């Protein structure tokens, strides 16, 4: 018959084995999540570009501390090792490259390199036209999308079109594309939400407009919405005044030859860009 101490010891050993097995199971189950998280973070890292300013330091080597600007060809000049290409690399990759060059040159035994991005001047996209804050915006991550940049620009202005014109370089060739934002979101065309790259340009045109005057509550110019009809245009203008009449409403429209045509339109007729609508005064 075994003593109480032996039984307790055996139970302790079994408990340790169970704990080790449980920890291994947890680690195994979480492994895909860890890998995916690391992969996502890596893919989202900012890529250095020409004009960026970085602060480089090496642990316990103050003489190797340097502020450097990335040149147009993507390189910096660093003490002891000379020119280092960092353009197009993530910050972690640039740290590893400098550390390797210091180690391979026998300058530092185990270099621990740290890079801080102090000014973003390289990876930028220009947003022009009918947006609330036109200008140049940095690509802070490698997976910045077209809609992300538009959001940085304050979104499309009230007079802006749903069509965004994209221009950039892809596969060494100039690329030009018109992207219908409304259609992209309504249909879910995620492939049109392009990944932005340095030097890309987005241009938002002025929205197509129509003009209305005469006996309406709010004469002026207004945006032509999709599939807009004459009666909807009248509603946008606030409707008719007490003196106005729906009879004989005239639409002035420029034809393909450039000449203005006078149309007697029906209320369910479509409105086109640059149409001029005139509401007559009732004679009764």
Q: Is residue 151 part of a domain?
A: yes
Contacts of 17 (CB under 8 A, 6+ apart): none
Residues in contact with 156: Cβ distance below 8 Å, sequence separation at least 6, in sequence order: 130, 131, 132, 150, 162, 181, 204
List, for the chain, all residue ranges whose pLDDT scores fall below the cut of 70.
Answer: 1-44, 284
If asked whether residues 110 and 183 sit together in one domain, one would say no
Token representation of residue 230: 């004459």
> In this structure, how many other beta carbons lie within 10 angstroms of the beta carbon of residue 115?
20
Q: What pLDDT score does 207 carry?
A: 92
Q: Which domain holds residue 73?
A: 53-119
CA atoms within 13 A on the CB side of 244: 20
Query: What pLDDT does residue 26 have?
Result: 40
Answer for the pair 230, 249: CB distance below 8 angstroms, yes or no: yes
Q: How far apart are CA 251 and CA 260, in angstroms?
A: 10
Last residue of a domain, one of 77, 98, 119: 119
Look at residue 16 in the predicted model and tell me its pLDDT.
Answer: 55
In this structure, the answer to whether residues 175 and 220 fall within a common structural domain is: no
Instruction: Measure Cα distances from 203 to 35, 125, 166 in Å.
Output: 38, 11, 7
Q: Is residue 67, in this structure, part of any structural domain at all?
A: yes
Q: What is the pLDDT of residue 19?
A: 52
Task: Give me the pLDDT at residue 284, please.
Answer: 65
* Residue 123 structure tokens: 């990876």
CATH number of the domain bearing residue 87: 3.30.1950.10
Q: Where are the beta strands (DSSP E) in 63-208?
A: 66-69, 75-78, 82-85, 113-119, 124-129, 135-138, 160-170, 173-180, 201-206
Q: What is the CATH number of the domain that holds 238?
A: 3.10.560.10
Domain tally for the chain? 4
| Residue 86 burial (CB count, 10 A) | 27
Bridge partners, 164 (sequence order): 179, 204
164, 185, 206 - which closes a domain: 206
Same domain, 62 and 111: yes
107 and 39 assigned to the same domain: no
pLDDT of residue 42: 40
Q: Is residue 87 a part of any domain in this protein?
A: yes
167 shares a domain with 130: yes
Does 284 map to a domain? no
Structure tokens at 143: 């997976």
198 and 216 fall within a common domain: no
Residue 110 and residue 80: Cα distance in Å, rounded? 15
Cα 225 to the chain's mean position, in Å? 25
**CB contact at 8 A, 85 and 75:** yes
Q: Has residue 139 been placed in a domain?
A: yes
Is 48 contained in some domain?
A: no
d(CA 184, CA 186): 6
- Same domain for 265 and 214: yes
Given 97, 119, 141, the domain boundary residue is 119
The residue to which tokens 């690509």 are assigned: 139
Residue 62 lies in a domain: yes
The H or E element containing residue 56 is strand 53-58
Confidence at residue 73, expressed as pLDDT on a 0 to 100 scale: 87
Looking at the fold, whether 173 and 115 belong to one and the same domain comes out as no
- 142-194 pLDDT, tens digit each: 789 999 999 999 999 988 999 999 999 888 889 999 999 988 988 877 888 99
């Amino acid at each position: 018959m075994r003593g109480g101490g032996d039984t307790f010891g055996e139970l302790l050993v079994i408990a340790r084995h169970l704990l080790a097995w449980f920890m291994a199971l947890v680690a195994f189950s979480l492994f895909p999540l860890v890998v995916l998280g690391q992969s996502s973070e890596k893919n989202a890292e900012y890529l250095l570009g020409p004009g960026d300013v970085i602060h480089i330091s090496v642990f316990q080597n103050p003489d190797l501390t340097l502020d450097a600007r990335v040149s147009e060809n993507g390189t910096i000049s660093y003490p002891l090792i000379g020119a280092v290409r960092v353009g197009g690399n993530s910050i972690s990759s640039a740290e590893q490259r400098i550390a390797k060059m210091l180690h391979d040159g026998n300058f530092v035994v185990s270099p621990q390199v740290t890079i801080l991005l102090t000014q973003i001047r390289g990876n930028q996209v220009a947003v022009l036209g009918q947006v609330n804050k036109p200008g140049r915006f940095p690509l802070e991550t490698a997976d910045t999308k077209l809609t992300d940049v538009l959001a940085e620009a304050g979104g499309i202005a009230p007079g802006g079109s749903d069509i965004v014109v994209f221009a950039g370089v892809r596969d060494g060739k100039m690329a030009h594309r018109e992207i219908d934002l409304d259609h992209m979101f309504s249909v879910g065309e995620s492939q049109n939400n392009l990944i932005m790259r340095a030097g890309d340009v987005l241009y938002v045109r002025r929205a197509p407009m129509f003009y209305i005057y005469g006996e309406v509550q709010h004469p002026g110019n207004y945006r032509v919405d999709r599939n807009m009809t004459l009666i909807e245009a009248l509603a946008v203008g606030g409707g008719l005044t007490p003196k106005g009449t729906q009879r004989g409403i005239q639409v002035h429209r420029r034809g393909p030859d450039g000449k203005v045509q006078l149309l007697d339109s029906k209320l369910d007729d479509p409105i086109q860009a640059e149409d001029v609508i005139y509401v007559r005064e009732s004679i009764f």
